[in-house]
A and B are shown apart, each in its own frame.
Chain A
Amino acid sequence: MDCKEGQRLIDGYVDGELDLVRNLGIEDHLHGCAVCSGSYQERRALRDGIRAHGVYFTAPADLRTRVQRSLRQAAGTTPARRRMPWQWIRVVAPLAAAAVVALILVPPVRGPSPESILTQEVVANHIRSLMVNHLADVPSSDEHTVKPWFNGKLDFSPPVKDLVNQGFPLIGGRLDYLNNRPVAALVYQRAKHVINVFVWPSNKNARSEAAPVTRQGYHVFHWEQAGITYWAVSDLEEGQFEKFVQLLKGQSPTTS
């Protein structure tokens, strides 16, 4: 075996991936060739360094829970959100065909709209934030602490407004996951009631708002303003909650 062949096979030799004949061949060559033998030692040192130096990243503790939760959602009651539409074309096309047939044969049954699924998600995240004692990643009543905390964690800068003077103190912020994207959750409090405000960028610039809805006793307000989507959820009494929403929108609340 010559050096050219020797050099070509060194990695296979280090990795124990050569067949017997080539293995014997390279061992024989390494005995007699200082250059190739040096390369071999070098490769071993590098590989052993990688294996020994803890460059393996183990999953963060809460990732398992997060993955399991999303799997349950995909398998269970809530329809899975399509995250990468082009991957599902194969599945969707026959379903669409079947749906056309079904539309003709069967009276239409309406499934939940995306909006209503999202509402459910918002309420679920709100409840979860109260349940697992994970209200705020950054517990602070200072908007100048909360806002910069999101830097580098999100691809947008969430609007943070403290409303302590109006009776709705900001108590912190945290990262959350909604509508298939990481979002900012701003947490406010009124007496014992917690208000979660989820925000993320919207593709619409126009101002719009949806009528407030109530799910499982929680009120949900949704609006879009200046390119940001807002979802606010709380068990706060609806009149006060509405006042809060108006303050957040930057309007003075209508006195009632």
Chain B
Amino acid sequence: MGEKDKLEHFEQAILPHLDAAYNLARWLTRNEHDAQDMVQEAYLRAFKFFDGFHGADARAWLLTIVRNTCYTWLDQNRARDMTTPFDEEIHTTEDNALNPSAMALKSSDMEMLKQSLEQLPAEFREVIVLRDLEEFSYKQIADVIDIPLGTVMSRLARARERLKRILCARLKEKP
């Protein structure tokens, strides 16, 4: 396959997933500018390795590369984001149940939801993004972030629990 054919084939298969790539990169880097750099970088890497891609699941394959690119960057730029600090102040056990019917997250809470999600450590943020925004199956998530299938459910459970706590704390602070 010539470089030109390869590029054409690549663009057809991989370029449609640009939004997914950007969304993940944006959530992992937490800013627009770096997210764009990450996407560009990831596409170049994907193109290099395109011969090794056998057409099964282009979106998951691309997001694996986007994720690795972002983690390399996070590693170099914000080592602190890789750790999972335990937020004592929000880990209160008193009444922080979401009242699903009464609250049902109004649209005005969107900004708050975004901020809460951004506050999660990267390893929790990414499973929620992959599951609830990309609607990936557990199997796809396991493949992308390279953990055993059995771990996906428990990581999602921890991530959502943590998100809920942060969100509840923020909702309570709200005047």
Contacts and interface: CB of A to CB of B under 8 A. Distances in A.
A49 B113 contact: yes
Interface in A53-85: 53-60, 63-64, 66-68, 70-72, 74-76, 80, 83-84
B132 A51 contact: yes
A76 B7 CA distance: 9
Q: Find the residue from B22, B23, B36, B44 having the highest chain A CB count within 10 A.
A: B44
Interface residues of A, number: 47
A15 interface: yes
A142 interface: no
A53 B113 contact: yes
A67 B40 contact: yes
Contacts of B40: 63, 66-67, 70
B137 A46 contact: no
A84 to B, nearest CB: 7
A49 B105 CA distance: 6
Interface in A70-122: 70-72, 74-76, 80, 83-84, 87-88, 91
A46 B164 contact: yes
Nearest to B77: A155
A55 B110 contact: yes
User: Chain B interface secondary structure, helix, strand, loop or mixed?
Assistant: helix
Interface in A3-36: 8-12, 15, 17
A15 B153 CA distance: 9
A46 B32 CA distance: 25
A150 to B, nearest CB: 12
Interface string A180-192: 0010000000000
A19 to B, nearest CB: 12
Contacts of A60: 22, 32, 36
Contact of A74 (B21, B44, B72, B101): B44
A57 B25 CA distance: 9
Contact of A80 (B19, B44, B97, B103): B44
8 contacts: A49-B113, A50-B113, A50-B128, A54-B110, A71-B10, A80-B44, A87-B48, A182-B33
The 9 closest A-B pairs by CB, nearest first: A45-B100, A49-B105, A59-B22, A57-B26, A75-B7, A53-B110, A41-B100, A75-B3, A11-B157
Interface of B: 3-4, 6-7, 10-11, 15, 18-19, 21-23, 26-27, 32-33, 35-37, 39-41, 43-45, 47-48, 72, 97-98, 100-101, 103-105, 107, 109-110, 113-114, 117, 128, 131-133, 137-138, 153-154, 156-157, 160, 163-164, 167
